[in-house]
Amino acid sequence: MSAASPMPNSLEIARSVTPRPIIELARELGLRDEEVEQYGPYKAKISLAGITRLEAEAAAKSKRGKYIVVTAITPTPLGEGKTTTNIGLVQGLNRIGHRAAVCIRQPSLGPVFGIKGGAAGGGYSQVIPMEDFNLHLTGDNHAVGAAHNLLAAFVDNSLMHGNPLGIDPLGVVWPRVVDISDRAVRRAIVGLGGRENGYPRETEWQITVASEVMAVLALTSDLQDLRRRLGRMIVATTFDGRRITAEDLKCAGSMTVLLLDAIKPNLLQTLEGGPAFVHCGPFANIAHGNNSVLADRLALATCDIACTEAGFGADMGAEKFFDIKCRQSGLRPDAAVMVATIRALKMHGGVGRIVAGKPLDPALAVENVEAVRKGSANLAAQIENVRVFNVPVVVAVNHFPGDTDAEVAAIREVAMAAGARDVVVSRHFAEGGAGAEDLARAVWSAAEEGAPDFRLLYPDDLPLREKIETIAVRIYGARGVDELPAATRALKLYEDLGFGNLPVCMAKTHLSLSHDPSLKGRPTGFRVPIREVRLSAGAGFVTPLLGEMRTMPGLPSHPAGESIDIDADGNIVGLF
């Protein structure tokens, strides 16, 4: 490609590569053919038996891969290329001689047809097959939705047929889900049209990736653990205040059956033929925002280094990675990568406005060192957030055309002062793994140092309210929290029921360190309002809802789905 040639779009790049047969890649990882369940030639599921065998063999050799979490600054609505950086980093690590795997979430169809139009990475740092990755893949998200909605149907069926468990219709807390952004079903009345259509009551729909079933699948350790977790999920209370679980409704077994294939991690590949484990897809603003524990364990047992991604900024996915995922899995990270872009730091510095679906503000393309320096207060806060856990941080500046050396120098100055171990410009989008070799070297060096003094933010026995306030003050920079009466009652109830030792999974906007998306940079002096608190007994956490946060997104004025179509030859177009 000449200097004057325009760069192909991501879909064109993905289609220009002939993927390796997935069985070939699986064999390189040490998997036996009977442990690989192929879905066509280029994607496969890996059996739980294969994971168990490989972990045992690795343990016998005292060998476990380095564990890296890839996180970011507070993003713009466009995102800052965290997935692309993660994939590029892994390609770079493989190029410099370390067997590396990328571990990422499967996209929700909500963002694919809403704002993003795809989430397989971009440019020359992608997971392929790109169309499969972004759409149905191996059907895991559909299985999660089916299992979740089966339980919802069991709840209403019990109410319909004499209500033998004494469920209070006003005490039903189990919603329904759909994997499309659809604000019209955030609140709805079901059971209308007469007795044969059920018991009329108010309910809600959540997006599938916010389902507790998805959270359970991502955090589970094996099939029996999955079955137990599903059985513990609380769906309602009775007229006399007792809890009703999926086990009480005799639905947990059927739900497990629906998830028998979904529990197995998916193996795909990067553009450069390296392993990519794609499994589960919880959002980080309304769920815990991390791919599965099983996929990470598989990567750590088969590779020198595994790079796993935590959604949105370090105040969200990374905090939950440490305090929820690592707490439950027992895995300990060795280093973190903090992705930043100059355009986002300018925005945090008060320059330009970024709106998904609209052309980039011209002010963001003009060198503005002072805006970058000012906006880097957000970067500093996010570095400090990771350093709270005693994990070394490498800052990856995701390069865009027009970025200047002076702007990068300003980022380096602020980042190093905030405690970063290194700052590296990465050109993986335009150059693939070759453009990420410097980043790969820096990350490997940080991983070699490791995090021997890794610590969680709070102990299990801290009261729930104090856990919430600890996150708000130490991670978000708030002065404190203010609970609405419903939240106060819920916290007391959960502690009285014996759930006070659970970690906290905050649900808040991803567009600010605070609960208010309009507060950019590093806001101070604010207090965090807690609207309500929900219990996920199966997943093993409580979820405070901050400010106006909702669990069902809406579509933008011009959804990405408007551009997704098929061409005259039946090929998919419009994904990016």
Residue that wins the pLDDT comparison between 236 and 362: 236
User: Could you tell me the CATH superfamily of domain 464-546?
Assistant: Formyltetrahydrofolate synthetase, domain 3 (3.10.410.10)
pLDDT greater than 50 at residue 2: no
pLDDT single digits (tens) 109-161: 988 898 776 788 999 999 999 999 999 999 999 999 999 999 999 999 999 99
pLDDT, average across residues 414-427:
98
Band of pLDDT at residue 5, cut at 50, 70 and 90: low
Res 458: pLDDT: 98
pLDDT, average across residues 499-516:
96
Q: Which two tokens stand for residue 377?
A: 């207060």
Distance in angstroms (rounded) separating the CA atoms of residues 124 and 253: 43
pLDDT, average across residues 432-460:
97
pLDDT greater than 60 at residue 35: yes
As its CATH architecture, domain 62-128+272-449 has 3-Layer(aba) Sandwich (3.40)
Res 359: pLDDT: 78
Q: Return the closest-CA partner of residue 507 out of 470, 526, 478, 534.
A: 534
Predicted TM-score (pTM) of the model is: 0.95
pLDDT, average across residues 288-298:
97
Contact predicate 552/504, CB 8 Å: no
pLDDT, average across residues 512-520:
96
- Give the domain ranges of the chain: 62-128+272-449, 141-256, 464-546
Band of pLDDT at residue 551, cut at 50, 70 and 90: confident
Side-chain-facing half-sphere of 377: CA atoms under 13 Å: 18
**E-only strand ranges, 297-443:** 305-309, 335-340, 393-398, 422-426
- Listing from the earlier edge strand, what are the strands of the sheet with 243-245? 167-172, 234-238, 243-245
Distance in angstroms (rounded) separating the CA atoms of residues 310 and 527: 25
Q: Which residue has the tokens 């998997």?
A: 31
CATH of domain 141-256: 3.30.1510.10
* Those residues with Cβ within 8 angstroms of residue 432's Cβ, 6 or more apart along the chain or in another chain: 88, 91, 123, 124, 125, 271, 272
C-alpha 172 chain-centroid distance: 28
pLDDT, average across residues 62-81:
93
Res 115: pLDDT: 78
Residue that wins the pLDDT comparison between 330 and 359: 330
pLDDT, average across residues 190-219:
94
Band of pLDDT at residue 205, cut at 50, 70 and 90: very high
Res 114: pLDDT: 87
Res 426: pLDDT: 98
> What average pLDDT does the chain have?
95
Distance in angstroms (rounded) separating the CA atoms of residues 399 and 379: 16
Band of pLDDT at residue 357, cut at 50, 70 and 90: low
Res 1: pLDDT: 45
Of 18-22, 249-253, 311-315, 571-575, the range with the lowest mean pLDDT is 571-575
Distance in angstroms (rounded) separating the CA atoms of residues 270 and 274: 5
Res 311: pLDDT: 92
The 3-class SS string of 32-70 reads CHHHEEECCCCCEEECHHHHHHHHHHHHHCCCCCEEEEE
What single DSSP character describes residue 541?
A: E
Distance in angstroms (rounded) separating the CA atoms of residues 98 and 303: 8
